Amino acid sequence: MSRFGTDENPLDTSYYDLLGVPVNAEYIQIKKAYRKLAIIYHPDKSKEPDAEEKFKEISEAYQVLSDPQLRAHYNKYGKDKDLAPDGGFTDPREYFQQMFGGDAFRSIIGELAVGSMFSEVDTEELEATDKKALNKEQMEKLQKQQQERVKKLAETLTHKLSLYAESNGDEEAAAAFQEQIKCEAEKLKGESYGLELLHSIGGVYSSKAKQFLGIKGGELPGIFQSLKQKRHIMKELWSTVKSAMDMQTIAEVMAKAEEKGMDQAEKLRLEEEASNRAYKALWQTSKFEVEATLRQVCDTVLQDKTVDSKTRYKRAEALRMVGYIYRHAEADKPVADLMVKVKK
């Protein structure tokens, strides 16, 4: 018997078995299986005693099978000492966050609180007074983290806009700035949920820029832009709540079905539906968080009193250009083809 495996007949199949995919599975199958299982076994969501270990194993399996070189090595040698990405395996919680944008978007949206929507406090283990103190402490910590996040992102955005904001504002300066943003958007749209994030970010940038520029900048009066923002926020809030309710509903259906007893086919169908709803809720929550954060970032940049009003106005013009490019990026068309004007 050969001591080595092949791509068709791997020496070890435990990673494939863990994700529930065949040994000849395409990347898209592997990615879909990982997303489904990562949501089901996320330690903050699952009540299984071995959820933490299972979550880690699922992450490692995906990191190996999603990398062509590591997968080939695994197929041939199994789980040997050399089977690990450069720098070792990424923390599973960190890897889970890569679902939405990953590192490429970090300088724009910061660290996402992905997974926190599943967090629960065990009320049976905490006294009422302790819960209040813990909640207050947690809230203060979260508020501080958010303030630091907004400050850092505002500094990064200010630097990005400075290419145009600190220029003479002519067509040549606008063209050079747009070229830079188009190159950036072209790269970002290829990331996980890249287009969706670009459109979401671009929507906030455009809205905030138009509100600031108002009639003088060829836009509707600021009050109308503000009303549009509020309608959008309410719509997104409802979508977020509805997604969470849908996820809760399918969880209750699964619980009742398990009590009555169900066959394997029905169980798999419900698990698939639960995974899809959970993933949708996770994305909607992340999107809502991103937009709320970026509204604060834009306000910080555009209301910066350390610079004169002319500079703030040019920042808003630059922000409008970025928003337009992000919002109009398409999967099958080069971003470079977009035509953008500084003013109407």
DSSP letters along 288-329, please?
A: HHHHHHHHHHHHHHHT-TTS-HHHHHHHHHHHHHHHHHHHT-
The predicted structure's pLDDT at residue 340: 80
pLDDT tens digits for 131-188?
Answer: 444 477 777 887 888 899 999 999 999 999 999 999 998 999 999 999 999 999 999 9
Which one, of 211, 234, 235, 215, lies nearest residue 302 by Cα?
211
Domains of the chain with bracketed CATH: 14-97 (1.10.287.110), 153-337 (no CATH)
Q: What average pLDDT score do residues 224-248 get?
A: 65
Q: What average pLDDT score do residues 277-289 get?
A: 79
**Does the model's pTM come out above 0.85?**
no
pLDDT tens digits for 82-128?
Answer: 776 665 666 556 656 667 777 889 999 998 765 444 433 333 333 44
Q: What average pLDDT score do residues 256-260 get?
A: 66
pLDDT tens digits for 13-48?
Answer: 999 999 999 999 998 889 888 877 887 777 666 667
Q: What's the sign of the alpha-carbon dihedral 288, 290, 294, 296?
A: positive
3-state secondary structure of 330: strand
pLDDT-derived band at 233 (thresholds 50, 70, 90) equals low
Contacts for 50 with CB less than 8 Å, ≥ 6 apart: none
In angstroms and rounded to an integer, the radius of gyration of the C-alpha atoms of the chain is 24
The predicted structure's pLDDT at residue 247: 58
Calculate the CA 268 to chain-centre distance: 27
